[in-house]
Amino acid sequence: MNVMALEQCLLTSTMIFLHKCSMKSYLNYLQDRAEEIDVSLLKCFKRAEIPTSTYYRTVNGNTELRYDTAVKVINVIEELNSIQKASEHTKGLREANKPVDRSSIRARFKPRVISS
């Protein structure tokens, strides 16, 4: 099993474990993860191409998120997290007057992806 597949399995298992064992809703998990990396959850819903009405219905407690929807949003959150990390790394390289190799940075900061 390659590293990416193992990370996907681990992240999926973590989401399922958190949901079932601690009874933490998908929304709470997404909110916590988005807050950790300082991104707007609404922005993540939009970037995942999920209607904003779904976001507002879920936040207001009118409905629960489906697993597939939560997976799409967490994938966007992880993507934004990797972009932030890559940006910080690149900024550090430039400040130190070191060469910036985009392909190695992309490979180093690949986002974790969950398959539904």
Q: Which domain holds residue 100?
A: 3-108
- Please give the pLDDT value at position 96: 87
Q: What is the mean pLDDT of each run of 10 residues along the chain (116 residues)?
A: 60 60 79 94 95 94 91 93 86 85 72 69
Predicted local distance difference test score (pLDDT) of residue 98: 86
**How many independent structural domains does the chain possess?**
1
Is 72 part of a structural domain of the chain? yes
Q: Is residue 36 part of a domain?
A: yes
User: 103 in a domain, yes or no?
Assistant: yes
Contact 114, 11 (CB under 8 A): yes
CB burial class (10 A; 0-12, 13-18, 19+) of residue 53? exposed
The pLDDT assigned to 51 comes to 95
Is 115 part of any domain? no
**pTM score above 0.85:** no
What pLDDT does residue 4 have? Answer: 59
Give the dihedral sign, CA 33/35/38/41: positive
Q: Is residue 92 part of a domain?
A: yes
Look at residue 113 and tell me if it is in a domain.
Answer: no
* 29 domain residue, yes or no: yes
What is the structure's pLDDT at 108?
Answer: 72
Q: What is the pLDDT of residue 56?
A: 95
Please name the residues in contact with 42: beta carbons below 8 A apart, sequence gap of 6 or more. 52, 55
DSSP conformation class of 68: H
Contact 88, 37 (CB under 8 A): no
Q: Distance between CA atoms of 102 and 93, rounded to whole angstroms?
A: 11
Phi/psi of residue 6, nearest 5 degrees? -65, -40
Output the pLDDT for position 18. Answer: 53
DSSP symbol at 66: P
116 found inside a domain: no
